[in-house]
Structure 1
Amino acid sequence: MNPPSQPRPNRARTHVRVASGDERRRVAVPRRSTKGPLEADIDDPLADHTHIDIPRTASQRVLSPSLSDATSAASPLSPQDGSGTLQDMPPKEFSFLQDPSAYHVLPATTIPPPFLNPPTLPSINTPIPSLLESGHYRLAAIAAARALVASASPTDFDALFHLLHIRLACLCLISEHALAAQESKILGDLNSGFYRHPLTDAHLVPWDLRLLTVRLAALGYGEWRKGIMGYYELARECRENISKADSVAEKTLWKARLRDCGIRVANVLVEMGELEGAGRHLGTLATADGKTDSQEAREVLIMEALVWLRVGDVRAARRCLLAATSISSSLLDSSLQALIHIADSEYPEAVNCWQALHEQHPDDAMISQNLAVSLLYTGRISEARKLLTELTDTSPPFHSMIFNLSTIYELCTEKNRDKKVALAEKMAGRKGDGTVGWEIGNAEFKL
């Protein structure tokens, strides 16, 4: 009798996991929802107080003050920013940032023909700081891409990030947000260890650039919630650095950055259309530090009031204005009061308020424009047109002013296109002073 056959051992295939050499491709593991001592910090503007359903200038070394609308709040570079204190790091290649195919030719179809070849247009070889100071952001974006590809060393991460920041910020300033979002993808996952100092674990990418890429990532993938998650991740880093700060100045810096992340979350909620959520969120920020009479609290209250006006909740807007009155300026409070009249469809009262402010501040372009809009609502179109036309001669042009004047042209004449083109030629012939962007797009002229 044959002995029973022994079971044959299973020959399992062995799978070897090969680690990727490019750490930028690794996916960051989401942080678990845990409670700890950092969650109870009263200085945290992102604390979950309520249920909630994105250059003022960048650092002087990175961007000029003229980029303030596209960058975050002012803050000096610290060791966590990738500044010169990290030059002791072993050489690391960032040559992937110098790939020419990552940077696109800027379309010229979005701007009126008079802006393509005006007599005052500077040369492309003009230094980048001069282009930024004069408001020529399109040329600055082109020059930054050229310098990024050809001039900078692959190991000089400080210069590479500096040029990339200029490139992306300038694209946003000329309303090429989709293009900027696409080009920002070259950075990959900024939470990867690839972007950390191997000895100190400090982040190599400047803080302002990281803020910008969070919003661009949300734009690029069409997911606004991705932007909110990105800002919360940066806020977590702020809280960690607050707890580890060795000096009062450093702690103040990270608290300011934490508050800025909170305001940017509200901005994303507004862009998502979640206006009520944005209003409730801003309501938690005004008292996040326990002080209701500070200038920071007043700024947040004004933001909240504007959000409630967009919602149509005039009562909530009045409440915010009343809370901010103790630390207010008469100009801003009177302006908000006039806006509340407009929200209530009380246009004659709004005209009276703006007219009184215009007499006190005849050189304030914001007051003049709002007075013109209020006059338009009351049917006094000729007065509104005269006021806006004078404004184009005495004030640097801004987008809403050009848009409103173009709208009045459409209401006044069937040959409004000729008026718009003439206005574009006038704006293209001016010399940029850097107070606003020199270039104005087709959308503002309604062409």
Structure 2
Amino acid sequence: MDQEASSQHPKGHQRTRSAVKATRPRSSTKGPLDVDDTPLASLLLPPQQQTNQQPSSAQAEQQHTVIPGGHGHQPKTPVPGSPLLPQSPAAHSPAPSHSRRQLPPLSLSPAGGPSLLSTSPGPSSGAPYGRVAPRPQLDFSHLLRPGIYHELTPLNVPPPFRQSAKQPSASTPIPDLLASGHFRAAAVAAAQALTGANGAPAPDPVDHALILSLFYVRLACLTLIDATALATQEVKALEDLNATFYIDEAGHNLIPWELRVLAVRLQAISFADQRRAVMSYYDLAREARLRLAEAASKHDNSEEHLWRERLNDLGVRVAGVLVEMDDLKGAVEHLASLKESDNGGGKMQMARALLWLHLGDVDAARKCVKPAEGSEGPSNDMTERIMNALCDMADGKYPEALNQWEELSKVSDDEMVGVNRGVCLLYVGRLQEGQNLLESLVDSGRTSHTLLFNLTTMYELCTERSRTLKVQLTEKVAALEPTSFGWEKTNVDFKL
């Protein structure tokens, strides 16, 4: 018995060998994103393509595969849901005529709802398949917060202006305030309109055109009333001017051009980084060149002229920033690179010439306004004569400059000509004549900051009771009729 048991059960553990090695079908090599492997493939393919991709049962039975390590060829086991699954005979046999009917298409959505796998827009779809949905309306409520805007103090305004009957009422529209030169009142009205503090509702947050227009009025008026420090704080609300938020579907910036140019300047002052202004001006110049090319391709002469003027203006602004940075060498090289052709009627030529004078290069300033040799266009004789007189003043030749200003005063009633003539009278020792000349300009309604500053300086030079004369001057200016050049003045204008 023991021998029989030992013969049937040998000592130690031994592996029982199987006569037939178990095999499994070869795994599919397709990835998880292949349409053919998903059970929903029949829903994603057209019916004709489904029929072409399903082989017959005879073809499925003939397909074999070699299993590594196996014994010979074995038929591939069909997998449910696979195209190799043979169809039942009932699928090929015609159904009885009384039971043949059209079945509804399969859907993964609830009854009555649109299919989740539908590739065509349903009745409620707002855009055709493949088209990007329209961009939602932008919300500009970040410019409507009352905390952005500062209160303007009237303490820096002389009493004759604060107590004048010419002060506008609170209900005066902003366009009327701008036309009459009430810039302080316009700045207050713009802030009240943005925040709804004047009793009227605030603008709709999606009305970006109105909001940005009021914001520009606010910043521009602050700079005109010598409140640039406040403007540099409020302009931070715009943040990045080139952000995607401000770009529309056509690729254009929603911020008006004038506001962008002003904001670049104010943001540079706010962050105490003039290089920021240079880089931002170059960004604007790149955009101006693109818009100029678009206008040229459309043969739109007015649009082309507009963008060419803006491009020239940016070039002068860059030079001005370089001068403020004390990068005189860079300013000289930049000015020399600007084209001499000008379409602004001498305005840009004069701006470049004044920058050359600031840099001390009188010859380059004269060259800016001098017509080029062989030029067929009409020369601006007035601009050239004015620049020659300014160059004589820069060289210290005041008698020669005075003669030129007197000749110009006979053909031009410009305030700038009169002010420079009065300054030359001061430098040649004819102080009283210069004072009388500047006072006559004030009586005629001229009240620029340059005129008032030079006149009050003459008061300080000719008498010890200059403050009395300055106060009388404020009363005289406050009694003048408002103009678009600005009516209300500050204490700085009168050196009080």
Report the TM-score, using the length of structure 1 for normalisation. 0.74
CA contact (8 A) 1:285 1:297 kept: no
CA distance in structure 2 between the partners assigned to 1:134 and 1:255 by the alignment? 31
CA contact (8 A) 1:134 1:432 kept: yes
CA contact (8 A) 2:316 2:352 kept: no
CA distance in structure 1 between the partners assigned to 2:332 and 2:456 by the alignment? 32
How big is the shift at 1:95?
A: 1.1
How big is the shift at 1:427?
A: 0.9
Residues 1:209 and 2:259 aligned together: yes
Q: 3-state DSSP class of the match of 1:216?
A: helix
Which letter does structure 2 place at the counterpart of 1:444?
A: D
Residues 1:280 and 2:333 aligned together: yes
CA distance in structure 2 between the partners assigned to 1:243 and 1:348 by the alignment? 49
Q: 1:220 aligns with which of 264, 270, 273?
A: 270
Partner of 2:188: 142
Q: 3-state DSSP class of the match of 1:443?
A: helix
How big is the shift at 1:175?
A: 1.7
CA distance in structure 2 between the partners assigned to 1:208 and 1:318 by the alignment? 30
Q: Which has the higher contact order (CA 8 A, sep 6+)?
A: 1
CA distance in structure 1 between the partners assigned to 2:311 and 2:267 by the alignment? 20
CA distance in structure 1 between the partners assigned to 2:353 and 2:306 by the alignment? 27
CA distance in structure 1 between the partners assigned to 2:205 and 2:395 by the alignment? 58
CA distance in structure 2 between the partners assigned to 1:126 and 1:137 by the alignment? 12
How big is the shift at 1:323?
A: 4.1
Partner of 2:246: 195
Residues 1:401 and 2:443 aligned together: no
How big is the shift at 1:337?
A: 1.3
How many positions carry a matched residue from both structures? Answer: 352
Residue by residue, what CA displacement relative to the aligned partner does 1:250-289 show, whole Å, maximum 9, x if unpaired? 55444433333222212222333444533432332224xx
Residues 1:426 and 2:476 aligned together: yes
CA distance in structure 2 between the partners assigned to 1:212 and 1:114 by the alignment? 31
How big is the shift at 1:314?
A: 2.2
CA contact (8 A) 2:316 2:351 kept: no
CA distance in structure 2 between the partners assigned to 1:270 and 1:109 by the alignment? 33
**Cα 1:256–1:387 shift into 2, 3 Å:** closer
How big is the shift at 1:136?
A: 0.5
Residues 1:320 and 2:368 aligned together: yes
How big is the shift at 1:296?
A: 4.2
**Cα 1:175–1:271 shift into 2, 3 Å:** farther
How big is the shift at 1:233?
A: 1.2
CA contact (8 A) 1:275 1:307 kept: no
Partner of 2:282: 232
Unaligned runs of 5+ in 2: 1-133, 197-201
CA distance in structure 2 between the partners assigned to 1:373 and 1:224 by the alignment? 32
Residues 1:262 and 2:308 aligned together: no
CA contact (8 A) 1:276 1:308 kept: no
Alignment of structure 1 residues 27-42 onto 2, 5 Å: none
Which letter does structure 1 place at the counterpart of 2:164?
A: P
**Cα 1:238–1:322 shift into 2, 3 Å:** closer
**Cα 1:439–1:89 shift into 2, 3 Å:** farther
Partner of 1:186: 237
Over aligned residues, Cα RMSD in angstroms? 2.1
Alignment of structure 1 residues 9-408 onto 2, 5 Å: 90-150=136-196, 151-197=202-248, 199-245=249-295, 247-249=298-300, 250-287=303-340, 292=341, 294-296=342-344, 298-323=346-371, 327-361=378-412, 363-408=413-458
CA distance in structure 1 between the partners assigned to 2:353 and 2:482 by the alignment? 34
CA distance in structure 2 between the partners assigned to 1:254 and 1:360 by the alignment? 33
CA distance in structure 2 between the partners assigned to 1:274 and 1:110 by the alignment? 34
**Cα 1:408–1:420 shift into 2, 3 Å:** same
CA distance in structure 2 between the partners assigned to 1:324 and 1:441 by the alignment? 44
**Cα 1:396–1:320 shift into 2, 3 Å:** same
**Cα 1:415–1:330 shift into 2, 3 Å:** same
**Cα 1:360–1:190 shift into 2, 3 Å:** closer
Which letter does structure 2 place at the counterpart of 1:265?
A: V
CA contact (8 A) 2:216 2:259 kept: yes
Q: 3-state DSSP class of the match of 1:431?
A: coil
CA distance in structure 2 between the partners assigned to 1:146 and 1:206 by the alignment? 21
CA distance in structure 2 between the partners assigned to 1:365 and 1:446 by the alignment? 20
Which letter does structure 1 place at the counterpart of 2:170?
A: I
Which is helix-richer, 1 or 2? 1
Which letter does structure 1 place at the counterpart of 2:463?
A: T
CA contact (8 A) 1:267 1:278 kept: yes
CA distance in structure 1 between the partners assigned to 2:172 and 2:339 by the alignment? 44
**Cα 1:135–1:142 shift into 2, 3 Å:** same
Q: 3-state DSSP class of the match of 1:109?
A: helix
CA distance in structure 1 between the partners assigned to 2:250 and 2:366 by the alignment? 49
CA distance in structure 2 between the partners assigned to 1:221 and 1:422 by the alignment? 40
CA distance in structure 2 between the partners assigned to 1:258 and 1:181 by the alignment? 24
Paired-residue identity, %: 45
Structure with higher Rg: it is: 2
**Cα 1:242–1:303 shift into 2, 3 Å:** closer
**Cα 1:89–1:165 shift into 2, 3 Å:** farther
CA contact (8 A) 1:238 1:257 kept: yes
Report the TM-score, using the length of structure 2 for normalisation. 0.67
CA distance in structure 1 between the partners assigned to 2:320 and 2:372 by the alignment? 20
